[in-house]
Chain A
Amino acid sequence: MDALVAQLQMQYRNYTASLYQQGFLDDQFTELKKLQDDASPDFVAEVLSLFFEDCVKLIGNMARALDQTGTVDFSQVGASVHQLKGSSSSVGAKRVKGLCVTFKEYCEANNYEGCVRCLQQIDIEYKALKTKLQDMFNLEKQIVQAGGKVPQVDN
């Protein structure tokens, strides 16, 4: 059993480290993990699920706003992007946040093509992140089930 735990732990460690290295996550995520304790054991998961819900909602808003035939209300798009940027920076979703920054610039420049492109990228990005984090959580669950403790991985 211990060997399995050890193996799982190592797998987990590598995986998490790779997430940091590849720029999916940043320091904020580490901070988030620190807030998880016995009082709130699922804190991270809760926050992340809230974040992904937010993503869906905001991306939907933005798609709708950009879909207008005729005049596009860039300010509305900008407001949504701003929200998304805030959310992503709160959870440590590095890539998403970066895309939001670029997106915002395009909005301010009223660059329609740029906005559309960015939106697509954000969509792809958040989904990718979601998948990765899902895998990470599954690993955590396996470790816990195997009787081990989830190792602390800082970037």
Chain B
Amino acid sequence: MMEVCNCIEPQWPADELLMKYQYISDFFIAVAYFSIPLELIYFVKKSAVFPYRWVLVQFGAFIVLCGATHLINLWTFTTHSRTVALVMTTAKVLTAVVSCATALMLVHIIPDLLSVKTRELFLKNKAAELDREMGLIRTQEETGRHVRMLTHEIRSTLDRHTILKTTLVELGRTLALEECALWMPTRTGLELQLSYTLRQQHPVEYTVPIQLPVINQVFGTSRAVKISPNSPVARLRPVSGKYLLGEVVAVRVPLLHLSNFQINDWPELSTKRYALMVLMLPSDSARQWHVHEMELVEVVADQVAVALSHAAILEESMRARDLLMEQNVALDIARREAETAIRARNDFLAVMNHEMRTPMHAIIALSSLLQETELTPEQRLMVETVLKSSSLLATLMNDVLDLSRLEDGSLQLELGTFNLHTLFREVLSLIKPIAVVKKLPITLNLAPDLPEFVVGDEKRLMQIILNIVGNAVKFSKQGSISVTALVTKSDNRAPPDFFVVPTGSHFYLRVKVKDMGAGINPQDIPKLFTKFAQTQSLATRSSGGSGLGLAISKRFVNLMEGNIWIESDGVGKGCTAIFDVKLGISNESKQSGIPKVPANPQHANFAGLKVLVMDENGVSRMVTKGLLIHLGCEVTMVSSSEECLRVVSHEHKVVFMDVCTPGVENYQIALRIHEKFTKRHQRPLLVALTGNTDKSTKEKCMSFGLDGVLLKPVSLDNMRNVLSDLLEHRVLYEAM
């Protein structure tokens, strides 16, 4: 057998040349086949991820075996032993198996590998898309940030100018604008005036008419609108040879007024005024207006509108507050002046009151005294006139003083229980003489359900009735006068702003005085109740009076929670005066004060009643004694206080003491008697007999512990009533 050598040099024969080439090729194939798995292993080891290791092993095995096969082939060119053949066969068999397995395996694997590739492509696309979106979101977020910052800047001030200036500045910064301008409508509303710009410090004050088509276009929509850089609103600077003017966007800024807001509505769009904001990108740049930038501009424009309206509201409220403060100050001054005036008037009145009344009283008192003396008829007439005039003057003074007190509100009603029926009869008896002289019959109708005893201010009520009835008499020349009094509930004829509601123990008294006299023009009726105004008809001019009567009556009626009004059918047709007042119903059927005259005066039996009379004056002592004896009493007489104290005992039921003589010694007796009789039921009742029962005397008596006061000289009936009252109630204070 020839030795195989791997040298290339021996010259082979031609068919051995072919063998030689085969030999070499096989060799290289083997080498390659061995190195491929090595490379695979090396690179796979290097890379972390490779899912098909088993395939790799398989493939490696396949290649190795293929290599082995080719290698073993090298020995098969020459004759070879059976071992080699065996090995060769084994190798080939194995290789065949593995190759087939691999081939089968690859059928599965290759689609997978291919799909990996498509997935990779897909993921790459997705990544690119996400990148894009990220970019977008980032931009939006930035926009939002800018808007928030802008808003913050704009809203951090309430000053109009600052707001607008800040807007322009911030917008310019955010969007890197070349120029930003704001056009405001003029007062007339017909033009837009350039009010604010970003770059130019002192904008040229020029205007454009508001009716330009481009402006209408912008005002017609709430969105930002791209406009031509050549439109008049965008031509802010002289064009200086720039090739390409930057794009311009304009947006409307609503100017909201307070008056635009309805309570539950949004502001009406039709009546709005707008300002125009114009934004210009830098020229000579390829920048374009992006959608998000325009959105930013729109949002900013809205915010500016809100900020401006806040500023406007603030301005108005500040103005209103200043106005109010001014008014407050003025009112304060006025109030103080009024107070000073009132004080001055009150002081004046107080002084005048006293100063005027004193001489007045002196005149009246002395005139009436003069009347009592012996006078010739002429003198008497003169004195009577003096008396009448001074009485009138005194009444007038009282009226004026009353009225001023009424207007102050310082007058208060003096409430007491009194007999209403008696009051009316008294008024009528006072008026009757005059009415009889004027031949005017007066009739009085009292409603059957009119309470007899009521609670109210008797004196003032009498004053009111007297005034009304007096007026009726005064202003009537003929006809009759009727006075009606009734209880009223609610009545349609009352003036509409007054409702009569009887409450509990109160009722409303209505008095109607109807006369057929001069009547009153319906137009004059409101004037009647104003002070000092009188209807100037000649016929009534002579009746005098100051015109205060009705005003005072009205005040009193109002104090009594009532109302007074006059109805008349016209001049010459008479008139009816009606008033309502609120009075209380008295529970007691007894009045305090004037002792009641018993219905059938019988000889009240005081038989054996022991009384003590103390009087220094012999004559009056005797008269009092006679009085009491006539009534059946047993009278003991003393003429001095010491004697009285000595004599008085628990047997005496009443002690009458004369306190006429000036001085307080007489009153001391009362105290001493109180001391003497500590037990109340033993003490005799103490009554003072005096010449005057004015308030001070009464108070004095009360303070000294007297049980009653009597005015001297006492009539028989009086004494009788007094005694019975006294014994029944153990106290008596006779009103004058």
Which A positions have Cβ atoms within 8 angstroms of B? 27-28, 31-32, 34-35, 37, 39-40, 43, 46-47, 50-51, 54, 79, 82-83, 85-87, 89-92, 98-99, 101-102, 105
Contacts and interface: CB of A to CB of B under 8 A. Distances in A.
Nearest to A85: B691
Interface string B605-629: 0000000000011111011101101
Contacts of B715: 27-28, 31
Contacts of A83: 616-617
B289 to A, nearest CB: 114
A64 B616 CA distance: 21
A46 to B, nearest CB: 7
B713 A50 contact: no
Nearest to B370: A102
A86 B626 contact: no
B369 A90 contact: no
Nearest to A32: B623
A89 to B, nearest CB: 5
Contacts of A32: 623, 626
A86 B619 contact: yes
28 contacts: A31-B627, A32-B623, A35-B716, A37-B630, A40-B629, A46-B622, A47-B622, A50-B622, A51-B619, A54-B619, A79-B661, A86-B619, A86-B620, A86-B658, A86-B660, A87-B617, A87-B619, A89-B713, A90-B620, A90-B623, A90-B624, A90-B713, A91-B623, A92-B713, A98-B369, A98-B372, A98-B373, A101-B372
B630 A35 contact: yes
A47 B626 CA distance: 9
B661 A47 contact: no
Given A34-B630, A35-B626, 6 more contacts: A82-B660, A83-B616, A83-B617, A87-B617, A90-B622, A101-B369
Nearest to A125: B374
A7 to B, nearest CB: 31
B712 interface: yes
Nearest to B365: A105
Nearest to A79: B661
A85 B372 CA distance: 15
Contact of B661 (A35, A51, A82, A105): A82
Interface of B: 369, 372-373, 616-620, 622-624, 626-627, 629-630, 658, 660-662, 691, 712-713, 715-716
A143 B715 CA distance: 27
Nearest to A87: B619
Given A35-B716, A98-B372, A90 B619 contact: yes
Contacts of A99: 373
Contacts of B619: 47, 50-51, 54, 86-87, 90-91
B712 A90 contact: yes
Nearest to B371: A98
Contacts of B660: 82, 86
Nearest to A88: B619
B630 A86 contact: no
A91 B660 CA distance: 16
B617 A40 contact: no
Nearest to B626: A35
B602 to A, nearest CB: 15
9 closest Cβ contacts across the A-B interface? A87-B619, A90-B620, A98-B372, A90-B623, A35-B626, A86-B617, A28-B713, A35-B630, A51-B619
A53 B432 CA distance: 45
Contacts of A51: 619
Contact of A39 (B617, B627, B629): B629
B689 to A, nearest CB: 10
A37 B369 CA distance: 35
B63 to A, nearest CB: 164
Contacts of B661: 79, 82
A6 B713 CA distance: 33
A56 to B, nearest CB: 12
A123 to B, nearest CB: 15
Among A37, A86, A101, max chain B CB count under 10 A is at A86
B718 to A, nearest CB: 9
Contacts of B616: 83
Contacts of A43: 626
Contacts of A105: 369
Contacts of A92: 713
A28 B372 CA distance: 17
Nearest to A101: B369
A85 B369 CA distance: 14
User: Which one of A32, A43, A90, A91 has the highest number of Cβ atoms from chain B below 10 Å of its Cβ?
Assistant: A90
A86 B691 contact: yes
B629 A31 contact: no
Contacts of B372: 98, 101
A23 to B, nearest CB: 8
A89 B619 CA distance: 10
Nearest to A26: B713
Given A35-B630, A40-B626, A43-B626, A87 B620 contact: yes
A28 B716 CA distance: 10
Nearest to B372: A98
B221 to A, nearest CB: 106
B722 to A, nearest CB: 14
Contacts of A82: 660-662
A114 B93 CA distance: 184
Nearest to A90: B620
Scoring B660, B713, B715 by chain A CB atoms within 10 A of each residue's CB, the highest score goes to B713
A37 B603 CA distance: 14
A46 B713 CA distance: 18
B716 A34 contact: yes
A75 to B, nearest CB: 10
Contacts of B713: 28, 31, 89-90, 92
A51 B712 CA distance: 16
Contacts of B691: 85-86, 89
A124 to B, nearest CB: 11
A90 B617 contact: yes
B712 to A, nearest CB: 7
Contact of A47 (B369, B373, B623, B662): B623
Between A31, A54, A85, the greatest number of chain B beta carbons within 10 A of the residue's beta carbon is seen for A31
A34 B372 CA distance: 26
A66 B335 CA distance: 64
Nearest to A54: B619
Nearest to B366: A105
A39 B629 CA distance: 9
Nearest to B623: A90
